[in-house]
Amino acid sequence: MGMLAIVISLALLMYFAYRGVTVLLLAPIMGAIAVVLSGDSSFLLPIYTSTFMTALSGYVLQFLPIFLLGALFGQLMADSGAANTLARWIVNSLGPRRAILSVVVACGLLTYGGVSLFVVAFALYPVAVSLFKAADLPKRLIPGTIALGAFTFTMTALPGTPSIQNAIPIPYFNTNVFAAPGLGLIGALVMFGGGLWWLQSRAAKAHAAGEGFGEHGEADEQTNPDQPAEQGRWSVMPVPLALLPLLLVVGVNALFTYVIFPGMDFAFLGERFQNVDPQKTTGLWSLIIALAVACLTLVLMRLGKWEDLKGTVNKGVFGFMLPLFNTASEVGYGAVIASLAGFAIIRDAVLNISPTNPLISEAVAMNVLAGITGSSSGGLSIALQTLGADYLRMAEAAGISPELLHRVAVMAAGGMDTLPHCGAIITLLAICKLNHRQSYLDIAAVTIMIPLPALALVITLGTMFGSF
């Protein structure tokens, strides 16, 4: 009965998430349903206050700076015109004839530099429309093109990417965002090359069938690729200045990760901060410092020239709250599920999928939970909250590096997370003014069907040669 309660709760969570109900409300309600159906209704309120809220608040305490600074950085990049400048620079460099490649590279550069994928989608959509019209490519391919650049290799595979998905495993595995860099690069190349091949093939097939951009009638869709619809006041910012904040995010992060923090003696923390383990926190500290430096640099570069700096800062700061609390609520839900007796059976079944190679079990768990929640960060957080210690123990017993665990976990969370009920996919389609029937096949191909073989390749190479 305990297992059935969990299955029913998860099924309802998936259904109502697809119907657009906020996870902030869904998570505690579905957790309560699981508790009641499992026969623990007398403990409902203690489980809510002590289990759900403790897990939620713990996640917020740990990752609030990453969400806040990431959202602020993305808003500063957008309102300063830096994001628009870089997008136009890439478009002009590659040319309208390479519309698909231009959009993928532009999305990839911005997301790898720390700009939120939602900011990227809003900023690149007008550019993509102009390019696809000029090249007479079907508009229905735009969501898949943006998804390839923003939701795949730069989110989960490239070493050093400041995405929240790449930060979540740090305190569980004592790693950093550069974990398993060689394997991450290999996985990224497979995703990039495979996704580009798929989209180009689909474009060629459409051209052979006589299908062009199509009639869509939006007034904001322009035909000049040099004049995207959403130009910031500073869209003519010099390219080196626009690039500088992105380089700082990666460069400062690497500097503190590999040079400054490893050379420091943290013994002075012992007296006042006995609960702080530098091995578990320096990876997060490096990312926090890098994002803060990049935000400050953007502000100073345009000091005195901002249209409304206070408005930009407020919008960025307010924008972090919903993603953070959505994910934190999913973590709270996962903690409730993990506290139920029926979960022990599910946990043992998952851990025993491949007892000699925890990477396979980990990949399955991350994919399943990301698919159920419709969120890579949510599924990853739930899985590590409930199974992270088990995987670390199994990896140590099997001689598997924590860095390899980190990379596999992040790449796996970026597999099945983009099922149709995924909030990011629903938002992307809304931005592009298209629907699932028109564009979801291409989104699924570049975000699920190609990343899964890339993940399998990384697991195979990691098992054979270890982390590199």
Q: Are 417 and 452 in contact (CB under 8 A)?
A: no
Conformational region of residue 127, where left means phi above 0, alpha means psi within -120 to 50, and beta covers everything else: alpha
How far apart CA 454 and CA 284 sit, in angstroms, is 26
Of 82, 96, 257, nearest to 166 (Cα)? 257
pLDDT at position 62, please?
87
Residues of the chain with pLDDT under 70: 217-236
Domain parsing of the chain, residue ranges: 1-213+237-465
What is the DSSP code (8-state) at residue 123?
Answer: H
Of 364, 388, 374, nearest to 456 (Cα)? 364
pLDDT at position 40, please?
84
Instruction: Extract the tokens encoding 408.
Output: 């596999």
How far apart CA 373 and CA 422 sit, in angstroms, is 8
Tokens 């602020």 belong to residue: 72
Instruction: Extract the tokens encoding 108.
Output: 């990839």
- Residue 222 makes CB contacts below 8 A (sequence gap 6+) with 126, 129, 130, 133, 228, 229
pLDDT at position 373, please?
80
pLDDT at position 220, please?
46
CA angle, 407 as apex, 195 and 242 as ends, to 5°?
65
For 138-202, give the DSSP string: -GGGHHHHHHHHHHTHHHHTSTT---HHHHTTHHHHT--TTSSHHHHHHHHHHHHHHHHHHHHHH
What are the residue ranges of helices labelled H in 256-375? 278-301, 309-319, 321-339, 343-351, 358-373
Q: Are 409 and 156 in contact (CB under 8 A)?
A: no
pLDDT at position 327, please?
83
Conformational region of residue 304, where left means phi above 0, alpha means psi within -120 to 50, and beta covers everything else: left
Of 12, 99, 33, 52, nearest to 331 (Cα)? 52
Instruction: Extract the tokens encoding 251.
Output: 């460069």
